Structure 1
Amino acid sequence: MKRIFLLPGLLVVATINAQFSVSIETPQNFIEKEAVLYTLNGSKDIIVTKEKSKNNSWLFKYPKNYIGMMKVYFPDTNNTVTFISENKDVNIKIETKDNKIQNILYKDDANALMNSIQENSQKKELILPALVQIKEYYKDNTDFGKALISEMGKLSGESADLDQAKHPFVYYYNTNYNKFLSNNSSKKNSQEEIINFIDKSNDLLETSSLLRPILVSYLNVGGNSNINSSVDQLINKLNIETPRGQTVLSELIDIFDAYDMAELKNKYLSQAKNLKCTINDRLASTIKSNTDTDLGAVFPNYTFHSPVNTKAKTIADVKADKKVIVFWSSTCSHCENELPQLLNKYKELQAKNIQVIGLSLDSDKNSYTSKIAAFPWINDSELRGWNSSFADKYNIHATPTYFILDANNKIISKPDHVGDVLEYFKLK
């Protein structure tokens, strides 16, 4: 299956009441009936609208100016199509097999160009090194040797110049991806260069997934021993009372959360909570998801999708002296190691009136069903992977993630590992 756009970019064109449409065409045997259109804010997908299928086609009308990344998500089949908008009509045809996307045909100019550039980039990264090795076994004057030289020349050549005025997003994305995220060791940037880029980029930086990896690159350039000073230098330059500064602060908090850097996360989360100015939606969402899942908070209730081993409709309906909530996946290697340890102690947990509730971030039904056959506790999954509603709701960045609740659903512990869970209940 073709998948493009590892990351994207920006550039604003001032237009009032601009409008474009996104057209998605699928085969007649594709069973999906509903699709969801998203834009992007930093690394967060933002729902725009939902549409029903008409003859296996979807038409989304976007009423405003937008240049940046978009995606359409098909919830029942858990398929996603990612594309770009340059504030012009988008036209996509999807080829499927057994309700899974096999190929994506980008029929509008901007996405066709972006796809072509991405394919060539991937070939250059993956195929060119192999051709260099193969060439050692063939003489240059043979037909195959000449063909190898020709193909290597095509792959190693520079990309054609892009028309920035005609394709502002494609130009921005490729220029800045190559500048800041290329594997080429000769193109390493200083922290000052990265700060200036983030500071001076215009509003569509927030519609690009360039922001998160560039921030990670920025932290790596500074080194592990200087992360505090690196972050302080960045946010002082940006000013966290501005929308840009707040979005960057939100991304940094999420990065520290994802990499288990609790001290740094708590420092900058506290700084965010103490802001006296107006908070933008992105930072407000980060503060809320962390506050809702902090120690002492009442665990936000969740309505089960299709639970097994219970007749309860929600987490709050489950009656127990304590509850262990575990977010996991059948494809998670750490879960593969930790959940059997929980299983070994499950009867002892039951004897203490402690209930285990597993919420899976699986997307494959067969894999999920096969795995939960061994788990006698309450299990549920939306089968939407990281598109599951509880990923954002409970601020989940990795699996397994544990919460321990009291009888009133208050969070009383957030163990890091299964050993910490068993230690809490004195079962080790």
Structure 2
Amino acid sequence: MYKYLILILFALSAGFVSAQSHQINGSISGLADEEVYLMRILGQNRAIVDTALSDQTGSFTFNLEDDFPVGMYAVIYGPAQMIELIYNKENIRFIANAASMQAPVQIIESVENLIYYDYLFLKGYNLYKMELLEPLLNQYPKDDDFYKTMLEEYRLMGKQISDRVQTLSSENPNTIASRFVKTDSPLFTDPELSPEIKNTYQRSHYFDNTDFSDTLLIRSNILNSKIIGYLSAFQNKEMTKEDMENSLLIGVDTILEKAMADQQVYEFVIDFLIDGFQAVGFERGLEYVATHNQLEQFCENSERKAELANKMDLIKKLAIGKIAPDFTATDLMGNEITLSKIQAKKTVVVFWASWCPHCDEILPELKNYYDPLNTGEVEVIAISIDEERSDVQTAIDDGSYYWTNIAELKGWDGAVVVEYGIVATPTIFILDENKTIIGKPLNKYELKRFLE
């Protein structure tokens, strides 16, 4: 009996060890009895996947189950401090100092992170010095011996980074770190070249070391950072808004073409571009991605593909120049409101919430342009995503927002909210007298420009 019990306990113990086969052990001096978080990084999407409590010495442990996905993670602690780590089915052990964001992380155990931080330290240190030298090289007399010394040092530091990337990649070909390092490696141009030649070279060779068929890049912040860096080569301060937008679309076209190497990567890139363009209000970029994407060229009907297709249909439906989707809803006074029946030169449809801090900034500004005795000029339809009527009414009374107020009290699942694809507040649509969308202001300054 006892013999079998011991065997059962041993089997259960073995199963438990197998289920938690790897650990992340950290020790951050100055971080006693604090919560520490493990965050998964999927491009711009971040999610907390585990929590640990440090002891008196600042030590903590995350236990990772055998099926824990490989990729890039971050240990989050203190006031918005983080340590990036690569997990690839191995134990990770490191030490750091909570008192200084500049203090280097010391990797004690983990082949992946020894490689990664070897690269990060050299890149960070050399790029810092190169950035200091750049303005001197641009202004210093070129026939002076000191200029030649600076130029030689600048070139040497860039070569050191490139050589280190080559060494780490060739000596560790089967590691995730080598793939991340190779993709992340900076592209250097000679400082004596003209800005025009530098820019042309950057545009042509920026993705030379980027394998768009490598789906592991999705499980990091490497690819989205690379995309941002590439698009920066298509804009400068001297451009007009129209010229900059035209230039950016050329870059977007190149990115979309290269991302066709893999469906998952393509879906990732589409999602990243859409989210980024929505955040900055780049309407032409959104419309371009929505109308020029090649999602239908991929055979696999993934869930994400369907979601992106719906998202892009919504972008096209809500584009500048389109008629706003009509709706009928009951306002808080019990009146039936139909958008298409509103008689006003301009109609503002604003989605907001009582708990939204940015709404507290933009709604008072909107009130400056609303005259309840002259709604023929500007009419406001405010649609709350609150779930409690009392919260909505309190916010309305506190701000004296006595325009047309609608609250379906279904949160993000209200019919009008879903129809307009609302995922953030405030979201504003400016309509002309024909209910054509003429603007989507992101802040009170843009709102003022559309309503004055």
- Quickly name the TM-score band, shorter chain normalised: 0.5 to 0.7
C-alpha offsets along residues 278-310 of structure 1, whole Å, 9 cap, x if unaligned?
454655565667778985689xxxxxxxxxxxx
Kindly indicate whether the alpha-carbon contact (under 8 Å) linking 2:213 and 2:259 is maintained by their aligned counterparts in 1: no
Cα distance in 2 between the residues matched to 1:94 and 1:86: 21
Query: Does 1:325 find its partner at 2:346?
Result: no
Matches within 5 A, 1:204-219: 204-216=216-228, 218-219=230-231
Q: More displaced, 59-68 or 344-353?
A: 344-353
1:22 and 2:24 aligned: yes
Alpha carbons of 1:349 and 1:44: their partners in 2 closer, same or farther (altered >3 Å)? same
Report the counterpart of residue 53 of structure 1 in structure 2. 53
8 Å Cα contact 1:94/1:104 also seen in 2: yes
SS at match of 1:158: helix
The alpha carbon displacement at 1:57 in A equals: 1.9
- Alignment correspondent of 2:172: 165
- Is 1:266 the equivalent of 2:281? no
Amino acid at match of 2:179: Y
What is residue 5 of structure 1 aligned with on the other side?
A: none
Identity across matched positions, percent: 12
CA deviations 1:154-213 (Å, max 9, x no partner) are: 967725532532773443333333354x46568875767567755664222222333224
CA contact (8 A) 1:37 1:72 kept: yes
Question: Once the 2 structures are TM-superposed, how far is the Cα of residue 265 of structure 1 from its aligned partner?
Answer: 1.2
- Cα distance in 2 for residues equivalent to 1:241 and 1:172: 16
Structure 2 regions of 5+ residues with no counterpart? Answer: 1-18, 141-149, 236-243, 319-323, 338-348, 373-378, 387-397, 402-420, 431-436
Is the Cα contact below 8 Å between 2:31 and 2:54 reproduced in 1? no
Cα distance, 1:261–1:281 mapped onto 2, change above 3 Å: same
Letter in 2 for 1:92: F
Q: What is the match of residue 106 of structure 1?
A: 106
Alpha carbons of structure 1 residues 197 and 77: separation in structure 2 relative to 1, 3 Å: closer
* Aligned residue type for 2:75: V
Q: What secondary structure is seen at the aligned counterpart in 1 of 2:98? A: strand
8 A Cα contact 2:427 2:442, kept in partner: yes
User: CA deviation digits over 1:377-398, x for unaligned, max 9?
Assistant: 99xxxxxxxxxxxxxx9666xx
1:72 aligns with 2:75: yes
Paired with 2:400 and 2:26, the residues of 1 have a C-alpha distance of: 41
**Partner secondary structure for residue 120 of structure 1:** helix
Is the contact between residue 182 and residue 210 of structure 2 (CA under 8 Å) also seen in structure 1? no
Specify whether residues 231 and 106 from structure 1 end up closer, same or farther in structure 2 by C-alpha distance, changes over 3 A only. Answer: same
Q: Where in structure 2 are the equivalents of 1:131-146 lying within 5 Å?
A: none
1:175 and 2:148 aligned: no
Could you report, residue by residue, the CA deviation over 1:305-327 in whole angstroms, capped at 9, with x for unpaired residues? xxxxxxxxxxx99x999755399
Question: Quick check: 1:36–1:51 contact (8 Å CA) kept in 2?
Answer: yes
Q: How many residues align?
A: 330
Residue number in structure 2 paired with 1:37 = 39
**TM norm structure 2:** 0.51
How does 1:1-16 map onto structure 2 within 5 Å? none
Give the match for residue 372 of structure 1.
Answer: none
Given candidates 120, 124, 127, the residue that maps to 1:125 is: 127
Alignment partners' CA distance in 2, 1:23 and 1:122:
25
For residues 324 and 251 of structure 1, the distance between their equivalents in structure 2, rounded to whole angstroms, comes to: 23
Separation in 2, partners of 1:273, 1:237: 12
2:270 corresponds in structure 1 to 249
1:231, CA displacement in angstroms? 4.6
Correspondent of 2:441 among 398, 408, 415: 415
Q: 1:65 Cα deviation (Å)? A: 7.5
Distance between the aligned counterparts of 1:103 and 1:329, measured in 2? Answer: 37
Map 1:187-202; keep pairs closer than 5 Å.
Answer: 189=201, 198=210, 201-202=213-214
- RMSD between superposed Cα atoms in Å: 5.8
CA-to-partner distance for each residue in 1:252-297, whole Å, 9 max, x for gaps?
3334434533133124225669848545465556566777898568
User: The residue matched to 1:29 in structure 2 has which SS?
Assistant: coil
Q: Give how far 1:242 is off.
A: 2.5
Query: Is the contact between residue 21 and residue 66 of structure 2 (CA under 8 Å) also seen in structure 1?
Result: yes
Q: Name the counterpart of 2:87.
A: 85
Q: Give the secondary-structure state (helix, strand or coil) at the position aligned to 2:160.
A: coil
SS in 1 for 2:32: coil
One-letter identity of the residue aligned with 2:117 = N
User: Could you say which residue in structure 2 is the equivalent of 1:364?
Assistant: none
Could you tell me which amino acid in structure 1 is paired with residue 352 of structure 2? I
Higher relative contact order (CA 8 A, sep 6+): 1
Q: Of the two, which has the highest radius of gyration? A: 2
* Residues 1:269 and 1:28: Cα distance change in structure 2 (over 3 Å): same
Q: 1:115 aligns with which of 108, 114, 117?
A: 117
Per the alignment, in what secondary structure is the counterpart of residue 290 of structure 2?
helix
